[in-house]
Amino acid sequence: MDKVGLWVKKHWLAAIILAGTVVVFSWTLLTRPMFHTHDYLHGARIAEMTRGLLEGQWPVIWSENFGWGYGMPLFEFYAPLPYFLGALIHLLGVDLVWCTKILWLAVSVVTLWGSYKWAREWFSIEVAALSASMSALASYRAMDLFARGAMSELWAMAALPWLLCGLTRLIRDEKHYQWYIVGGGVVLILSHNITTMLAAPVLLLYIVAEVALERAAHLSVWDVVKRLATWAVACLGLTAFYLLPALIEKELTQVNTWILGDYFNFRLHFVYFRQFWRDNFGYGGSGWGPDDGLSFFLGWAQWAGVAIGAGAMVASAKEWWHNRQKLHKVLLFTCFFAIFLFTLFMTMSKSQFIWEAAADLLAFAQFPWRYLGISIILMALVGAAGVAWFPKRWQTAIIVALWLVLVGTSASYFQGESYTGEDVHYTDEPEYIRQTLSGVLVDYLPIDFANEWQEVPMAQMVHEGNQPAVLVERMHEKLVQFEREASGEAEFNIAYYPGWRAEIDGEPAEIRVSERGNIVIDVPAGRHKVGVQLDSTPLRRVCNWVSAISWLALAAWVLTGEKLGYNNAKRRD
């Protein structure tokens, strides 16, 4: 019997829990048609990423068809990783509906697996399986998937337990911590920069608690700091091509106008404490007050795990108060529970003074309840700790009971409100993206672009005459041949954004910007080849080189046997 078979035979309860959890979150995805979500642009984003890859744009930042066909730097600012993965699947011939479903299935499996790996740092296999299921079947995850369709947030959420596992292994001086940190950090940053921002202080608190209470005796604080700094810099280097331009060049777009508008004002979206307990799963929107159309319920099984653990610790207070090892464990998980409470606090209006103090940054989060994506990961660990507190002879019964409650109360969340079959929105048809979907996605239009559709040919001379011949037609490069008796200006149907450069007969030409925000070039009389191409700004160019060097360094580190400290760490039993 192979290793997997032996593991299943030995840990049959954990195998049932994990397999059953996969069935719960995947059943609707596999058996029902596509369902409606608030964000239904995933297919179009995948299609635009696929076009960019096929036409040689790397890294892909420009979407040609969004912005009414004038284009926008979509992937410079929005979740390149999930849609890059979707494009790879699409290139294999998978249609856009199933590309999206596969991404949702994959992110759910990654969440379950990562939560299990992190929980195994603390608990037995069976308790870790329960903890992982509490993460994967959390109501907030179901809401993000089946109501909001928040692809990028789901992938960022999935990265968190892997990153937390890596941090735990680093502080304990265990082997393989580098891969967990790099993998989790890169996926987090390239999936959702808002979750990255919100998670940063939580990760810092976790590190402080771990270093203070769990650090291996022979590993100094300075060693921990050096390792953290090394791999934090590695993550930043690997993602520099996206992270820094997204942060610094956002002022070149209309993002402040659209995502900081009235509805998206964070002051309107705080959560009331009673909403954490209200089992009212819905598919509506977020709004002011306690009656949102969305649910912020944290789960009966999760709350039960926390309550059981608290009760068990109180009941055995005399035992652990005089037992140094158990006291240490109580203190550690008390810290984790406090961090969990901090994430809940940040969703409520009581924390508004913090949001106001850092409004220039936190305003981009829009919805304070986004912190719940972090809360459910922490709550699953804390809830499972309550089970682990019991003697082993009681654990199996409690695990089974809690998992049955979890499945029984959560299964109904993992389904769509309505099913539309082969949804018309999941198309790669350029005209549909331009005319219908562009009005939904306006966040990253270039700053000078007039937010409207007006037909402009590929290149149009102001003076009357023969239409130019199109020689090259790619989303990030156009080449047009003019033959004119008189000079004039040519307006391309491309929204100007820093990085576009122009040439006339191979020589650099000046770009002007039309009233509607398009690229305009003055063309002299005679026959001329006029081209425009998307190039990098100095910032993007430096960041691209930093990322390229970082990826090459990582590859060299792997190929040379991972000699940068990898073999010095302990192997975990």
Residue 529 lies in a domain: yes
Predicted confidence at residue 156, as pLDDT, reads 97
Per-residue pLDDT reduced to its tens digit, 515-567: 888 999 998 888 899 999 999 999 999 999 999 999 999 998 888 865 444 44
> Residues 342, 392: one domain?
yes
Examine the fold and report which residue of 364, 392, 421 is the final residue of a domain before the chain moves on.
Answer: 421
> Residues 87, 188: one domain?
yes
| 80, 318, 337 from 386: Cα distances, Å | 38, 17, 11
> Residues 400, 486: one domain?
no
> Residues 380, 466: one domain?
no
Per-residue pLDDT reduced to its tens digit, 192-250: 999 999 999 999 999 998 888 776 556 788 888 999 999 999 999 999 999 999 999 99
Per-residue pLDDT reduced to its tens digit, 144-158: 999 999 999 999 999
> Residues 502, 359: one domain?
no
Examine the fold and report which residue of 405, 421, 437 is the final residue of a domain before the chain moves on.
Answer: 421
SS3 138: coil
> Residues 351, 491: one domain?
no
Residue 285 lies in a domain: no
> Residues 349, 208: one domain?
yes
> Residues 512, 415: one domain?
no
| 75, 144, 198, 233, 425 from 365: Cα distances, Å | 18, 15, 8, 24, 26
Question: Count of domains in the chain?
Answer: 2
> Residues 413, 463: one domain?
no
Residue 201 lies in a domain: yes
Over residues 476-484, the mean pLDDT reads 87
Residue 241 lies in a domain: yes
**Which secondary structure element, helix H or strand E, spans residue 483, and what is its range?**
strand 477-484
Residue 26 lies in a domain: yes
Predicted confidence at residue 568, as pLDDT, reads 47
Beta bridge partners of residue 96, listed in sequence order: none
Q: Write 406-409 long-range contacts (CB < 8 A, 24+).
A: 406/133, 406/134, 406/137, 406/299, 406/300, 406/301, 406/302, 407/20, 407/21, 407/24, 407/137, 409/279, 409/299, 409/300, 409/301
Residue 373 lies in a domain: yes
Residue 218 lies in a domain: yes
Rounded to an integer, what distance in angstroms lies between the CA atom of residue 466 and that of residue 275?
66
> Residues 197, 50: one domain?
yes
> Residues 127, 237: one domain?
yes
Task: Tell me which residue range forms the domain holding 40.
Answer: 3-259+311-421
Residue 288 lies in a domain: no
Least confident of 176-190, 326-340, 361-375: 326-340
> Residues 200, 338: one domain?
yes
